[in-house]
Structures are given as structure tokens and as C-alpha cells.
Chains A and B, each alone.
Chain A
Amino acid sequence: MPITSRHLLGLEGVPKEDIQLILDTATTFREVLDRPIKRVPTLQGKTIVNLFFESSTRTRISFELAERRLSADVVNFAVAGSSVAKGETLKDTARNIEAMKIDMVVVRHSSPGAALFLSRVVNANVINAGDGTHEHPTQALLDMYTIREKFGKLEGLHVCIVGDISHSRVALSNIYGLQIMGATVSVCGPKTLIPKDIEKLGVRVYYNVEEAIRNTDILNVLRIQLERQDRSFFPSTREYHNYFGITKEKLEKAVKPITIMHPGPINRDVEISADVADGENSVILQQVLNGVAVRMAVLYLLGTGEGK
């Protein structure tokens, strides 16, 4: 069964079957990553450009590794010193690159909707690697893969996302993806970082971590974006850590062991204490490894698919 779309722009409204297919396909590629030679010829002859308009380490390396392990030709683009720095528009940049016969575009951009915009102006398959505060679908897919790997399922599980929900593309993609797959999602954070009307998306809202984790199976801890502090969303990182930081002490009050996830990069001892990040229930590094497999699956399905 092929994937139903030509692009991966977000998880909102994606059919359950597509997510299932991506996760199942990722299982196959996950095995490849354990082989001595971690390379398959699947996308040989395809050219993929990584268009990163925002700095990124983990996501960019993860995509690049996934592309190379599928034997695609890879071109990297970074904004500094590029034509964008000279004032070129996103549309012109993309169309010029596409004129060089590119098959797929992986895009990271600060503007919500940028990936959708690109999909309207170029013919290549577009994969959203994070568009501002909108979506980051491959992150949510790798989160779901990691959960499924540990629990053997997604349906019926309870995932709580803690932190800056207002400015998080990871939160939004996780909410959409997990709900489609039958999991329950709640969010927790200071009221100033919870976007208006989010409960209408079917998530429960907590302002108290201990209450939030009482019945949850998984905690997905978001990075506190210290660069936003100029607008004073909370009084200090000290106060944030004391009341919203995930610590061993707070976790001990939960009824069951809670699996800890984090999309990285971590601010140690701000949103998460070091012992929790490195503790036995943390799957943070598995997330990173699984990210390569999930991105291989997405690239493979879109690159070889006949989706509309």
C-alpha cells in the first residue's frame, strides 16, 4: 500500500494508515542501522536538498544521514552566506535550486506554513523539517516510533507534553499524530506558555507537574527556549526549574515509572534534571537513533511512492 500524499507537511489530518505505514517501514530501516554496512540503494539517482533556513544540528544531521544511507545524492544549504542573505525570496531560492533537477526538498524555516508554501511553488516532494511554531512531523513520528518500540503500541497510552507549548512545533505535531493513533495527550506548563483554546484540540491542560504526571505513561519534556525570555513568559529559569522542571523528586510521586522523552537539545537542570535525562527511564538517545530510521522511511515512501 503506497503513502497517500506527495509531501509530508504536517501530521494534522494525515490518515492513520499513512502513519502506520511510516512506522512499519521505519522498523525495517531500523534494522539496517544495526548492520555493519548501513546503506541501501533505495534512492540511488535521487537528489535531495536540505534547505535549512534556521540553524539545526540534530535534525539536519539526522536527515542527511538518512538520505545518504538510502544512497541519495545530497545537497546542503545553509542560510549564512547564501543568496537568501543577499535578499532572495524563499520562492526564488527554491525554484532556482529546483531548476537544477532536485527530486526532494527537506525544509526547515521559521515561518509557519513555509513548507506548504514551498509545496505550492515547486514540483519536488517537500518534507517539513520544522516550520516555525507550526509542525515538525518527523520529530513526532520518531517520538511515536520510540513509544511504540517500548510499549508495543500507541493506542490507549497517555502522553503528557511539558513545557513551552505555545512556541512548540513538536507539541503540535505530537498532539495531532498521537491522537490519530489513539493515544491520549495532555499538556503541562506555565499558563503563559499554554496557547489559547488548546483544550479544544482534545488535550487536557495542567499547570501543576505533579498532577500532570499522576496517570501518564510518557513525559515528553520540551526545551525551554531561553532566547524567548526577553518577553518574560515566566519569572526566571530558577523558578521554572523549581515548579516545572522534571526532577527525580517529582517523578517519585507518580504511581508508575514514567518514560522520559525530550526532542533536544536539553537545557540540563532547567526543564529536566541531569539524573532524569540520563536515568533508566529515559529514551532520549533512542529517539535520536530512531530519528534516522523514521526519516529514511519518510524519504523512501515519498521518494518512491505514487502518492497524489
Chain B
Amino acid sequence: MKILLKNGHIIEPHSGLDLLADILIVDGIIEKIGTKISVGASIQKYELDGKIVAPGFMDMHVHLREPGYEHKETIETGLAAAASGGFSAVCCMPNTNPPIDDASVVKYIKEKAAKVKNGLVDVFPVAAATKGREGNELSPMMELAEAGAVAFSDDGSPIENSEVMKRAMEYADMVGKIIIQHPEDRSLTKGGVMNEGFVSTSIGLPPMPAIAEEIMIMRDVMIAEYANTRYHAAHISTAGSVEIIRQAKKRGLKVTCEVTPHHFTLTEEVVRSFDTNTKMNPPLRTQEDIEAIKAGLKDGTIDVIASDHAPHSFDEKEVEFLEAPFGIVGLETALGLAVTELVHPKILSINQLIEKFSINPRKILNLPVIKISMGEKANLTIIDTEKEWRVDVSKFKSKSKNSPFNGRILKGKSCGIINSGIFCL
């Protein structure tokens, strides 16, 4: 199959590519990049009118929910949501049932994912760091890695025991993988459902202080330094966390982190509505935290933007605030929010956006970085940064609609991905 993309603004920061050109893709391989490529009438042609063609985006923090919670999301619906949101790759988190702590589960997910639209979206499972995600005994990391796990995490739960964390980092490091921590000192967040501060005090919701996250990251950074390993903090949300990571990087430690779009877009003020779609862990923080996160994104302290896509069914969220599960869907709004909140206000350049959505996640996971050049596999995300659209959860491809952004106007949208020889517009 041949596809011609006409007049795309090709940006590939890794090799410094930035030009307006056509791309000819034959059987999934980039055959030619150039101006005015002429081809026969039998070829599918797409006029891009200067829209951005970037190396395929990856969301390195996604809950696909399968196996075990197929009423929230399945691999098929989750990947449809990813494709629709502009992601040609996702990492899926291990808090499934059974958890991804056994090679058979890694294989099950990979095989199932490969069949969805012939492998349009690549799935890279993140396996549990400890058995049953219980934080006690190490999971069989070598076997899991061999089956295809790209990193280890007990996500949803922190690895609380310092000794277990140290061993997990050492063992994973030997396998060439990174530990991704859900940073939370649970002795400080017991019963909590929102950020601790003026808003929690005003509406009487049990609080989770910012220091619960910061203490855990601080401890983990110290362990990573001592063990001389890499470390990745998932979904950081506070100004203090940004500063801890910044200082760690200044000292030359191999520490990385990610942030979600909701943590740079919404503050805890929206929780006053008691809308359960404002309940997530880590919780929404303050405007000061948002400013610090934006500064951290800009200066490179924060490496990655990841959605923490956490689908829950309507009925699960249609309950009292304390009873509701934490989390929101994010695959189909992540790119739009990032362009709206970061690129248009000139906090990030397009190049930086591409780094945080495509290059950095792959570097952190030791995966090959996607290149746009002749002879390479076509793995592309096409972005219209000027497209204004209204978020409508009823149109989501995800099985779940739990988003606080329903009705919000965004400027910037993915208009398609190409991967595995398949073009999804």
C-alpha cells in the first residue's frame, strides 16, 4: 500500500529535521521525503496544508484495565482511544487482575494488542516490581523483561518499604530497566481524597498533603543515588516535587519524571463541585504548583507528559465523593490540553512538545527513538495545532467517559497516526 502525505511540516527534533515536504510511504516504510513528489493516481493522497508531522507519540502511563476490569476498558477500546488521541504507542500499567507480575500476562497483553487493527498502536507493558504489587517480594523481572516488559512499577500503589525499593532498583537496573514509582507516603494520605489546604479545609474533604508525594520522591532519589541506578517518578504534581527532581538532575543523578495534563491544567478549586471526575491520585493541587510544573516542563526538569489514563465506568463514579475511585481518562484529551495549555501560551515549543511526548519516554524506557527518514518505518503523529474543538465525552473511543474536561474548548488536536503500515485518520 502506498500513501502520500502532501505538504506536511515535518519536525523531528532528534535529528534536527524541520521542513515543509511530502512523505511517500510504501508498505509502512518511508520511501521518500521531498518537495513535490509526483505519483500515479492510484495512490492515496492526503493534503496536510502544513500540519505538523512528528515522530509517533507515546503515552507512557496508561491503564488498559485488561485483564480483569473489562467493564472499564479493554485493550481494544483503550488502543482505539490512544489512536484517536494521537498516540502510536502506550505503556500499560500492571494494576490489572491478575496483575502483570507473571510473564504469561505480559504475553497475553502483547498478543491481544497486536491483533487490534493489525498492531496500529504499540503496547509496551510495565510489569509489577513486586509480586502481586504488594511491595514485599520482587517480581521475576528477568523473565518479565524477556516476555516484553519495558519497565517495572507497582503503580496505583507506591513501593513503600525502603529496602524493597533499593533491591527493586538494583535488580531492575541489572536487567537494563527502570523502576517507575507512584510516589506517595501512604501514612500521610490515609483516608485522603484531595489536596490538603484551604479548599479541603473549606469543604471538609479528608486531605492528602503535598509532602506525602515529596517525601517519597526525596527518599527514592536518595536510594537511586546510593544504588547508582536510574529512577522515574510517575505523575508528579507539586512544586516541591519539581524542585527535588531539579536538584537531583543538577547533581547528575539519573532521575526522570512525568506530569499529567490535568495537573498542569486544573487546580483543587474544581473539587468544590464534589464532582467525582475531579478525584484523582495524586490529587489536583494549587495554582502555585501549576506554575512550578510549567517551569519544570520548560527547563527540562520534567521529561515526559503522560496521561495516567484511568478509565472507570459511569456507575463507579456516580457515587459519593469518598466512595468514588481515583482517576480520569486522558488519552483523548492529553495532546489537546498540552497544545492549548503549553504550546499556545509559549511555555513549550513544538520541538519540546515532541520531546516530551515521543523522544523522552522512549529514551527513559531504552526503546529506539522514532526517526523520520528514508528507509525508516513510518511511525508518525500528525498534529493540527490550530484546530479548535470541544471535548465531547460521548464521542470518546474509550469505554469510559470519566473526564472533567467534557465541554471544554481546546486548540490543538491530533489528526491521525501512521504505524505498522496503517494509516488512521
Of A29-37, A191-199, A218-226, A234-242, the segment with at least 4 beta carbons within 8 Å of chain B is A191-199
Contact of A196 among B205, B207, B315, B319 (CB under 8 A): B207
Contact A196:B197 (CB < 8 A) given known A112-B205, A117-B274: yes
Of A61-69, A132-140, A273-281, the segment with at least 4 beta carbons within 8 Å of chain B is A132-140
Interface size on A, residues (CB 8 A): 26
B269 to chain A, nearest CB (A): 13
Contact A198:B320 (CB < 8 A) given known A89-B315, A113-B274, A116-B274: no
Contact of B319 among A90, A116, A172, A231 (CB under 8 A): A90
What chain A residues lie within 8 Å of B197 (beta carbons)?
196-197
In the complex, whether B389 has a CB less than 8 A from a CB of chain A is: no
Bits for B289-329, please: 1 = Cβ < 8 Å to A, else 0: 00000000000000000000000000100111111000000
A97 to chain B, nearest CB (A): 16
In the complex, whether A58 has a CB less than 8 A from a CB of chain B is: no
Q: Chain A: which residue is nearest B319 at the CB level?
A: A89
**What is the bound-complex CA distance between A134 and B193, given in angstroms?**
13
Contact A113:B201 (CB < 8 A) given known A89-B315, A89-B319: no
Bits for A171-204, please: 1 = Cβ < 8 Å to B, else 0: 0100000000000000000000001111011000
Contact A134:B203 (CB < 8 A) given known A89-B319, A110-B322, A111-B323: yes
In the complex, whether A16 has a CB less than 8 A from a CB of chain B is: no
In the complex, whether B46 has a CB less than 8 A from a CB of chain A is: no
**What is the bound-complex CA distance between A195 and B209, given in angstroms?**
11
Contact call B320/A117, Cβ cutoff below 8 A: yes
A295 to chain B, nearest CB (A): 21
A194 to chain B, nearest CB (A): 9
Contact call B196/A132, Cβ cutoff below 8 A: no
In the complex, whether A114 has a CB less than 8 A from a CB of chain B is: yes
Q: Chain B: which residue is nearest A91 at the CB level?
A: B318
**What is the bound-complex CA distance between A110 and B204, given in angstroms?**
11
In the complex, whether A262 has a CB less than 8 A from a CB of chain B is: no
Bits for B195-231, please: 1 = Cβ < 8 Å to A, else 0: 0111011111111010000000000000000000000
Contact A201:B320 (CB < 8 A) given known A113-B274, A196-B197: no
Contact of A201 among B201, B206, B319 (CB under 8 A): B201
Tell me if B's interface is mostly helix, strand, loop or mixed.
loop
In the complex, whether A54 has a CB less than 8 A from a CB of chain B is: no
Contact call B322/A132, Cβ cutoff below 8 A: yes
Q: What band does the interface of chain B fall in when counting residues whose beta carbon is under 8 Å from A?
A: 20 to 34
Q: Chain B: which residue is nearest A176 at the CB level?
A: B202
Contact of A112 among B190, B274, B315, B318 (CB under 8 A): B274
B404 to chain A, nearest CB (A): 15
Bits for A237-257, please: 1 = Cβ < 8 Å to B, else 0: 000000000000000000000
**What is the bound-complex CA distance between A174 and B206, given in angstroms?**
19
B112 to chain A, nearest CB (A): 32
Contact call B321/A200, Cβ cutoff below 8 A: no
Contact call A113/B321, Cβ cutoff below 8 A: yes
**What is the bound-complex CA distance between A134 and B197, given in angstroms?**
14
What chain B residues lie within 8 Å of A89 (beta carbons)?
315, 318-319
B163 to chain A, nearest CB (A): 26
Contact call A90/B201, Cβ cutoff below 8 A: no
Contact A198:B201 (CB < 8 A) given known A111-B321, A112-B322: yes
B192 to chain A, nearest CB (A): 12
* Residue from B196, B202, B205 with most neighbouring chain A CB atoms (10 Å): B202
Contact A201:B200 (CB < 8 A) given known A109-B320, A111-B323: no
Contact A196:B204 (CB < 8 A) given known A112-B274, A117-B274: no
Contact call B200/A196, Cβ cutoff below 8 A: yes
A171 to chain B, nearest CB (A): 9
Contact call B204/A134, Cβ cutoff below 8 A: yes
Q: Chain B: which residue is nearest A109 at the CB level?
A: B320
Contact A133:B320 (CB < 8 A) given known A113-B274, A196-B196: no
B78 to chain A, nearest CB (A): 26
Contact call B200/A195, Cβ cutoff below 8 A: yes
Contact call B206/A133, Cβ cutoff below 8 A: yes
**What is the bound-complex CA distance between A169 and B319, given in angstroms?**
20
90-118 of chain A: CB within 8 A of chain B: 90-91, 109-114, 116-117
What chain B residues lie within 8 Å of A18 (beta carbons)?
none
What chain B residues lie within 8 Å of A112 (beta carbons)?
203-205, 274, 321-322
In the complex, whether A210 has a CB less than 8 A from a CB of chain B is: no
Q: Chain B: which residue is nearest A166 at the CB level?
A: B201
In the complex, whether A12 has a CB less than 8 A from a CB of chain B is: yes
**What is the bound-complex CA distance between A135 and B203, given in angstroms?**
8
Q: Chain A: which residue is nearest B196 at the CB level?
A: A196
Q: Chain B: which residue is nearest A134 at the CB level?
A: B204
* Residue from A109, A114, A117 with most neighbouring chain B CB atoms (10 Å): A117
Contact call B201/A196, Cβ cutoff below 8 A: yes
**What is the bound-complex CA distance between A12 and B203, given in angstroms?**
9
173-190 of chain B: CB within 8 A of chain A: 190
Contact A91:B204 (CB < 8 A) given known A116-B274, A196-B197: no
What chain A residues lie within 8 Å of B323 (beta carbons)?
90, 111
22 A–B contacts, CB within 8 A, in A order: A90-B320, A91-B318, A109-B320, A110-B322, A111-B323, A112-B274, A113-B274, A113-B321, A114-B320, A116-B274, A117-B274, A132-B204, A132-B322, A133-B204, A172-B204, A195-B201, A195-B207, A196-B196, A196-B198, A197-B201, A201-B201, A201-B202
Given contacts A90-B319, A112-B321, 5 further A-B contacts (CB under 8 A): A113-B203, A114-B320, A196-B198, A196-B201, A196-B207
Q: 3 tightest CB-CB pairs across the interface, nearest first?
A: A113-B274, A111-B320, A134-B204
Using a CB–CB cutoff of 8 Å, the interface residues on chain B facing chain A are 190, 196-198, 200-207, 209, 274, 315, 318-323
